[in-house]
Amino acid sequence: MSNPLSEPGTATLDRHLAEAAERYGTPAYVYATDVITARLAHLRAHLGRWFSISFAVKSNPNPALLGWMRDQVDQLDVSSGGEFALGRQTGWQPGLISFTGPAKREAELRAAISGGVGELVLESLREARLADAIAAELGRVQPVMIRLAPARVPKGFGDQMAGRPSPFGIDVENAPTELPQIATLPNLRIIGLHIYSGTQSLKSEAICENWRIFMQVFSEICVSLDLRPEKLIFGSGLGIPYHPGESKLDLAAIAAGVGPDLDAFLADPRFADTRLVLELGRYLVGPAGWFLARVVSVKQSRGSRIAICDGGLNANLAASGNFGMVLRRNYVIHRVGGDEGGTRPDEPQDISGPLCTSIDKLGSRVLLPRLDEGDLIAIHGCGAYGPTASPLYFISHPLPAEVLLTGEQLCDATPDRGR
What residues are annotated to the active site? 356
Distances (CA, A) of 25 to 334, 398, 405, 418: 18, 10, 15, 16
Q: Are strands 401-406 and 28-32 parallel, antiparallel or unpaired?
A: parallel
Q: What angle do CA 99, 278, 196 make, to 5 degrees?
A: 60
Query: How many C-beta atoms lie closer than 10 Å to residue 418's C-beta?
Result: 7
> Which residue, among 109, 197, 192, has the nearest Cα to 145 in the 3D structure?
192
Burial (CB count within 10 angstroms: exposed 0-12, middle 13-18, buried 19+), residue 2? exposed
Q: What angle do CA 300, 306, 307 make, to 5 degrees?
A: 125
Distances (CA, A) of 76 to 17, 113, 195, 359: 29, 16, 16, 35
- For residues 392-407, b (16+ Cβ closer than 10 Å) or e, as one string? bebeebebbbbbbbee
